[in-house]
Amino acid sequence: MADRPTEAPREGATVLPDPGSEPHDSSRTHVTGRSEYVDDRPLMRGELVCGLVYSPYARARLVKLDLTAACAVPGVACAITAADVARNAWGSIFVEQPILVEQEAQHAGEVVAVLAAESREALAKALRRVHAEWEELPAIRTIDEAIAAASFIGVERTIARGDATAALAAAPHRLSGTLVIEAADHFYLESHAAVAYPRADGPIEVHSSTQHPTETQHVVADALGLPFHEVVCIARRLGGGFGGKETQAAPIAALAALVAKRTGRPARLVLSKDDDMIVTGKRNPFQIRYEVGFDGAGMLLALDAQLHSDGGAYADLSTAIMERALLHCDNAYFVPNVRVRGQVCRTNHHPHTAFRGFGGPKGVALIESIIEDVARTVGCDALDVRRRNVYRPGHDVTHFGQKIEDNCLPALFESLESRCEYRARREAIRSSNAAGTGPLRGLSMTAVKFGIAFTTRFLNQANALVNVHRDGTVQVSTGAVEMGQGVNTRIAAIVAERFGIAIDAVRVMTTSTEKNANTSPTAASAGTDLNGAAAAKACEAITRRLGHLANHLRGLPADRWPSRTAGLGTAPEFVVPEGPPPSPVRFERGAVIVEADGGDAFEIPLPRLLGEAYLSRISICDYGHFATPNLGFDKEKGQGRAFLYFSQGVAASEVEIDRRTGEVKVRRVDLLMDLGRPVNHALDMGQVTGGFVQGMGWVTTEHLFYDDHGLLVSHSPSTYKIPSVQDTPRIFNTDLVFNERNTANIRGTKASGEPPLLLSLSVWTAIRDAVMSERERLRGELELVPIAIPATAERILRAIERETFAAIEAR
């Protein structure tokens, strides 16, 4: 998809490629196996490998920890415990979580000690010789137990509009229910990893698989008792993150750094997949009780919902996740009277954390499930109910008071309904299911309206350093972390466009707190939005100066240019004035062009102009800082402009269920998204399809199991089922709408990282559609069947054969 007119290139000019066709900047090194991740860094002389000792119980008192035998193993260099930590507390919102347990573990997998050895063999032997005695204590394992014990994190939050109580009382129809959404693991391919290097003069350099280098830098510094400037955190690339490395990478890096500081030797801590899954938090489980009021046509009149989430043992980001869940309870639909309340529960699970979509999927799951039930209750197709309630002119203000600008939702529904032949397929599925022969099928179309921005205002900022070299090449440093999503490629494209050069003339440098300090995490789908805008601001400062110089050179004889006079000092030096250049300047195809009034334009190759700028002592480097404008969400009132804009989309999913086993196959998915004017169409398509498939795993197969002591037992691919190529939709039609109306964001683009994952809920609602159709066939009457997320084969079979399973369990 080209976003500029095509034209014949000038003689000798650099031909710029279509911005939608550029490959991921690491694609070649990925496929050739040369991409370097943290654990690919070559071992240095004297480097130590580290391993963790952690609690096997959800809650337990550490009676005795004897590391004597472990430390006696040849090759073991040291053991680190809580006594070695200068500041044994960290946390992104509430500083309450220890780096290492002192006396009482609050979740299974909580680390009590780190061992460091010269070889993996010595480390494994030492870990087996650790002697730890625990007194298991009563633990809170469920949301209901936390509610009964009033075990909470933070305060209850409320977002409201109108009078939900009165509107419910007056509504012609009402439904109530409970939606259960369980946890899911991030399952990034690269586990948490960090290597810490002690430098000769005191500082510590940490290479970490982190989405938030600044927070990692600060947590490491605090744990070591160092000022921030004595720690540098570097993140070259991540082998996946999905939110799981936004906060929880920091203590892993701190543990490696503690060993490095103690021994004066490099220290490497790379978790196995088993340890990673046991130790780290997941997507927050939710339990939502709700009541909805509606009329005979399925128009929503009121919604009252109480959301409880399992935050785990410590706060992490759970209160912010709950806030976003509350903000997305409307999703794509206008509800005139709303009261949604949210409370995070403190349990004895690993502290749950950010996950692609943050809390948004929970709120969207709620309203999409409700619409399915409303439609069946009033005897309408669920798509009709969605289209009647979708945000539209006159009904385009959210329950938190933000007007939806550039609303594409009605058009997206209309377009996809036609594209996917929804009506004909719906009728065919209805007839097939009624016959009761062959596989059971379901069809559902859901939407997403995902707000883009951090709801904590100060996080919406970024900085960038742009260094232009005299040969016309550019180095860019930002706080964005490349974790597979292509943020480096997008930023390079933005910078290349500003200077009118080929994208391969731009190098995005490794992310480091040494060059970009006080950065926000690469999260909230805002990596390109923030860091790309900061880089663009730095480019604008440089191009303004170059534009002035080009205007100046246009009026000078060639023998008076700095390249002819600077060495001799025979001409006055040019001082760049304030404001824009007197004549418009274009940067394109490797040249700088000054437009002329009625005459020939002045053109100079960019490298030539850069050389003249250097000789004129004009800076061709700059630092840009960007703060997202027009945000104003009052967290106490639950009202205001929480987001810069909304990424929007719709998806129709058709599923097939084996009546005997409950196995689900996704027959077809049709997906349509508005992402504005993509910086890179191919990368956005990758994000859309990848996010959807990841979400499919969350809503169908990814089920976590814990033993009686609270220790995760499904901690590997053999026991935790992520989607494989065999699970992808048999037919997968994906397209983007080219939308010129989005002026809120840089280049008119919209974020693609998180929003498509929420469209995978169409698979879950299609499963419910199929199950409820089968129940109606078997019983001859309407039955609204709740199914928890994930809708595993067992849960589906139990929902279809409720009486059979009840009889078996009653024996």
Catalytic residue annotation: 754
Contact 90, 219 (CB under 8 A): yes
- Name 33's Cβ contacts closer than 8 Å, sequence gap at least 6: none
- In whole angstroms, give the CA distance from residue 620 to residue 473: 11
CA distance to 70, 119, 508, 623, 747, per residue, from 473 (Å): 54, 43, 11, 17, 22
Whole-number Å distance between alpha carbons of 679 and 490: 6
User: 361 with 324: CB under 8 angstroms?
Assistant: no
Q: Identify the sign of the CA torsion 162, 168, 172, 175.
A: positive
DSSP 659-704: TTT--EEEEEEEEEEE-BS-S-HHHHHHHHHHHHHHHHHHHHT---
Of residues 451, 160, 156, 447, the one with CA closest to residue 302: 160
The rounded distance, in Å, linking the Cα atoms of 772 and 442 is 9
| SS3 state of residue 800 | helix
- 739: alpha, beta or left? (left if phi > 0; alpha if psi -120 to 50): beta
Beta bridge partners of 79: 115
| CB crowding 270-287: b at 16 or more within 10 Å, else e | bbebebbbbbbbbbbbbb
Residue 217 tokens read as 């830098």
CA-CA-CA-CA torsion sign (388, 391, 395, 397): positive
Q: Which residues pair with 466 in a beta bridge?
A: 476, 622
Report d(CA 798, CA 244) in Å as an integer.
Answer: 32
Residues in contact with 357: Cβ distance below 8 Å, sequence separation at least 6, in sequence order: 450, 695, 754, 757, 758
Give the Cα separation of 78 and 254 in Å (integer): 15
SS3 of 441, please? strand
List for the chain the helix, strand, coil content (%; round to 5).
35, 25, 40
Question: Within 10 Å of residue 262's Cβ, how many Cβ atoms?
Answer: 19
Residues 6 or more apart in contact with residue 39 via CB below 8 angstroms: 190, 193, 195, 268, 270
**What is the Cα–Cα distance from 71 to 380, expressed in whole angstroms?**
69
Cβ atoms of 789 and 760 closer than 8 Å? no
Instruction: Estimate the crossing angle of helix 793-800 against helix 761-779, to 10 degrees.
Output: 30
